[in-house]
Amino acid sequence: MKCNNCGAPIQMNQKFCPNCGSPNVEFKKHIDDMEQYNKKFNSTRSKVIGNSKWFVNYIAPITALVITMTALTLAIIGKNSMIGYDIARKNQQKYYSSHSDEIQTKLKLLLEAGDYATLYSMDYVGDCSIKDNDDKYAWNDFYNVAGDYVYIRKGIISMMERNNSSYYGDEYMNTISRAVADMEDIVSRRLNLSYHSVSKESIKYINDIYEKSHELLKAYCNLTDEDIAGLPDMSQADILTLITRRSFE
């Protein structure tokens, strides 16, 4: 990345250009993006978990569909009952099946927009995911990597908010290191020797998430390009040690 004023090299997390001293406009934009992401993620997560009715309303504008009132009613009445939950889930899956093409089209639009957090939330909470010729496992690696990306971002944001607490700092360092280790495992090992078929289309987006995650680690955990290159060969404990050391340099 280059300074908008003098063209000198500048890092995303540098507030001012080291050459001319001009403010780094990308720094403020990136911080704003991170803050907006945090607000959106927390709001979405709390609403989805706390209110099943909101989930239906959330899906509607994305898929341009409305889940049947029967499924909704049973989901609310039986939220503490496995019987009610199972019936609601079956109705939901039946609805997804009958509107599969429309749902897949809307999910692909989110994919093209790079809205990986929303896609992950919809799969994790609502079991509404991208399919590849009806193969429900073909996008597993994508969703696993997307989940790791969400936790890396969440961990970084949480550390920034609680930078005066060593307890929470350690907790979020662990969150980040686990997510990084899992992502490296998927991309470097399991993706090449997968126990299930992997969608060729998904690999493009897995790589995009992989690169974005590395940019976050460089910008907010002070990892170098050399550090990033060595991550595939490191254990979670080694990654935790590296991130902790770099973050306090």
Per-residue pLDDT tens digits for 122-180 = 887 666 788 887 676 889 899 999 999 999 998 888 877 665 455 456 788 899 999 99
pLDDT at 49: 37
- Among the ranges given (71-80, 92-101, 232-241), the one the predictor scored with the smallest mean pLDDT: 71-80
Question: How buried is residue 34: exposed, middle or buried, by Cβ count under 10 Å (0-12/13-18/19+)?
Answer: middle
pLDDT tens by residue, 51-68: 444 444 444 444 434 334
The conformational region for residue 2 under phi > 0 = left, psi -120 to 50 = alpha, else beta, is: beta
pLDDT tens by residue, 191-200: 666 556 788 8
- For residue 2, give the DSSP letter: B
Q: Is the pLDDT of residue 70 over 50?
A: no
pLDDT at 183: 96
| Helix/strand/coil for 51 | coil
Show me where the domains of the chain are located. 1-50, 51-121, 141-247
pLDDT at 61: 46
Distances in whole angstroms, Cα of residue 38 to Cα of each of 35, 50, 80, 94, 147:
5, 18, 29, 33, 15
- CA nearest neighbour of 102 among 140, 52, 68, 59: 59
- 33 contacts 239 by C-beta, under 8 angstroms: no
- For residue 132, give the DSSP letter: B
∠ CA 202-240-216, nearest 5°, is 50
| Helix/strand/coil for 220 | helix
- 75 contacts 47 by C-beta, under 8 angstroms: no
- 151 contacts 175 by C-beta, under 8 angstroms: yes
| Helix/strand/coil for 197 | coil
∠ CA 2-27-247, nearest 5°, is 105
Read off φ and ψ for residue 80, nearest 5 degrees. Answer: -105, 10
pTM of this prediction? 0.64
- Six-digit token pair at 82? 């496995």
Q: Is the pLDDT of residue 45 over 50?
A: no
pLDDT at 59: 45
Q: Is the pLDDT of residue 182 over 90?
A: yes
pLDDT at 163: 55
pLDDT at 57: 47
